[in-house]
């Protein structure tokens, strides 16, 4: 029996992506095998530089494979979210004196994320869970390229979509599904076990209390100080939340793996609107037999014990610096 679940994290950092990475790295239940980057919150080069920078700060003693993937969605122009995450994707922390991101940070990162996903999932003795925190472009491309290797995945855990909560980029669509609806639909139609963490849950999970950042900032461990400064900036700039609220979208997806008992799940056959009209990117349950055919029902988080999840995330981030592999 493995002592921890092997995971691969596909991400577009992103303030909340950074917190999700920190949470996964601080969690002994998970073993982060690889990180792959995708264009989304920021362009691919920035997302990749951010992922390299985050691994350097948050996992300085670990060798974690990093690869970059798609710079564009499968069939559309990229839409980014600098107005939410800042022009560097990380609320401006990368130009802070103590936490400066070097211009060479991502120079050596190979551009074979899709192959890395297929290899990690397809060759692991223990089934790997893919945690997808950005547009699903890389994951969908991996499914297209080698479905039989990808069938070895334990699950694909997705932050994305909205069941009844409305959208956050349009009235209908959540950002990750809006950016690459074709990829999201392909993943939901793949027949693999998919766990979806939509806005219905993530809108309930917010850091709005300044004691969180001050606790982190007071830690001697540089990782804690970094996360405290990141949260302080995100809340102060009001990039990621409204009225000083930082929403924990991507950490919630990691949370479904760590504390499933705190989430209420429903089973739904899901589709994503791939048109160009208003509903672009909207996620819908389907009862239609044809639309549902071949789609395994996804497990969708519809409710959450919000206070408990937020406090467990915070405690993990605070304790994270003490964890060693």
Report the interface residues with Ca ion, using CB under 5 A: 12, 14, 17, 133-134, 250
The yes or no reply on residue 174 touching ligand BDR (CB under 6 A) is yes
Pairing of strands 263-268, 298-304: antiparallel
CB 187 within 8 A of CB 139: yes
Q: Which of 32, 52, 54, 84 binds ligand BDR (CB under 6 A)?
A: 84
User: Minimum Å distance from CB 161 to ligand BDR?
Assistant: 9
Burial class (CB in 10 A: 0-12, 13-18, 19+), 86: buried
Shortest distance (Å) from residue 290 CB to ligand BDR: 29
User: Between β-strands 270-272 and 283-285, what pairing exists: parallel, antiparallel or unpaired?
Assistant: antiparallel
Q: In the chain, which ranges are continuous DSSP H helix?
A: 15-25, 44-58, 82-85, 113-123, 137-145, 147-150, 175-179, 181-188, 199-202, 210-217, 222-237, 249-258, 289-292, 306-319
Q: Which position among 175, 226, 239, 263 is part of the footprint of ligand BDR (CB under 6 A)?
A: 175
Contacts to ligand BDR from residues 194-233, by CB under 6 A:
none
Q: Which is nearer to ligand BDR, 115 or 137 (CB)?
A: 137
Please indicate whether residue 249 is annotated as part of the active site: yes
- Rounded Cα gap, residues 95 and 257, in angstroms: 33
Which residue sits closest to ligand BDR, CB atoms considered?
A: 175
Please name the residues in contact with 275: beta carbons below 8 A apart, sequence gap of 6 or more.
none
How many other C-beta atoms lie within 10 A of the C-beta of residue 93?
A: 26
Considering the rule CB under 6 A, would residue 19 count as an interface residue with ligand BDR?
Answer: no
Binding of ligand BDR at residue 137 (CB under 6 A)?
Answer: no
How far is it between the farthest Cα atoms of the chain? Answer: 57
Q: Is 51 in the site for ligand BDR (CB under 6 A)?
A: no
Nearer to ligand BDR, 12 or 213 (CB): 12
Alpha helices in 197-288 (DSSP H): 199-202, 210-217, 222-237, 249-258
Is residue 273 close enough to count as binding ligand BDR by CB under 6 A? no
Catalytic residue (one of 85, 172, 203, 249): 249
Which residue is listed with tokens 């969605």? 73
263 part of the interface to ligand BDR, by CB under 6 A: no
Contact call for residue 249 and ligand BDR (CB under 6 A): yes
81 binds, among ligand BDR, Ca ion, none (CB under 5 to 8 A by kind): ligand BDR
Instruction: Point out the residues that are catalytic.
Output: 249
Residues that bind ligand BDR (CB under 6 A): 14, 16-17, 41, 81, 84, 133-134, 159, 168, 174-176, 249-250
């Amino acid at each position: 029996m493995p002592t921890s679940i092997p995971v691969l994290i596909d991400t577009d950092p992103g303030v909340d992506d950074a917190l999700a990475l920190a949470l996964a790295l601080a969690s002994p239940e998970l073993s982060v095998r690889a990180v792959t980057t995708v264009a989304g919150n920021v362009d691919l080069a920035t997302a990749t530089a951010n992922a390299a920078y985050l691994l350097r700060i948050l996992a300085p003693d670990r060798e974690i494979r990093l690869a970059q993937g798609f710079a564009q969605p499968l069939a559309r122009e990229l839409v980014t979210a600098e107005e939410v995450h800042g022009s560097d994707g990380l609320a401006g922390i990368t130009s802070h004196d103590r936490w400066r991101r070097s211009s060479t940070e991502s120079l050596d990162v190979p551009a074979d994320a899709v192959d890395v996903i297929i290899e990690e999932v397809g060759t692991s003795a223990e089934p790997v869970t893919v945690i997808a925190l950005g547009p699903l472009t890389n994951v969908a491309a991996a499914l297209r390229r080698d479905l039989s290797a990808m069938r070895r995945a334990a699950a694909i855990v997705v932050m994305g979509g909205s069941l009844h909560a409305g959208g956050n980029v349009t009235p209908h669509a959540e950002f990750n599904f809006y950016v690459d609806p074709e990829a999201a639909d392909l993943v939901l139609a793949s027949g693999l076990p998919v766990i979806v963490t939509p806005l219905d849950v993530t809108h309930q999970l917010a850091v709005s209390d300044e004691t969180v950042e001050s606790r982190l900032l007071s830690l001697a461990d540089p990782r804690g100080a970094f996360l405290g400064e990141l949260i302080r900036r995100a809340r102060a700039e009001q990039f990621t939340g409204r009225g000083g609220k930082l929403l924990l979208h991507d950490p919630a997806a990691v949370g479904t793996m760590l504390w499933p008992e705190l989430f209420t799940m429903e089973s739904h056959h899901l589709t994503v609107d791939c048109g160009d009209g208003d509903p672009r990117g909207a996620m819908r349950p389907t009862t239609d037999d044809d639309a549902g055919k071949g789609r395994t029902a996804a497990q969708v988080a519809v409710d959450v014990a919000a206070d408990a999840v937020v406090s467990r995330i915070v405690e993990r981030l605070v304790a994270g610096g003490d964890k060693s592999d």
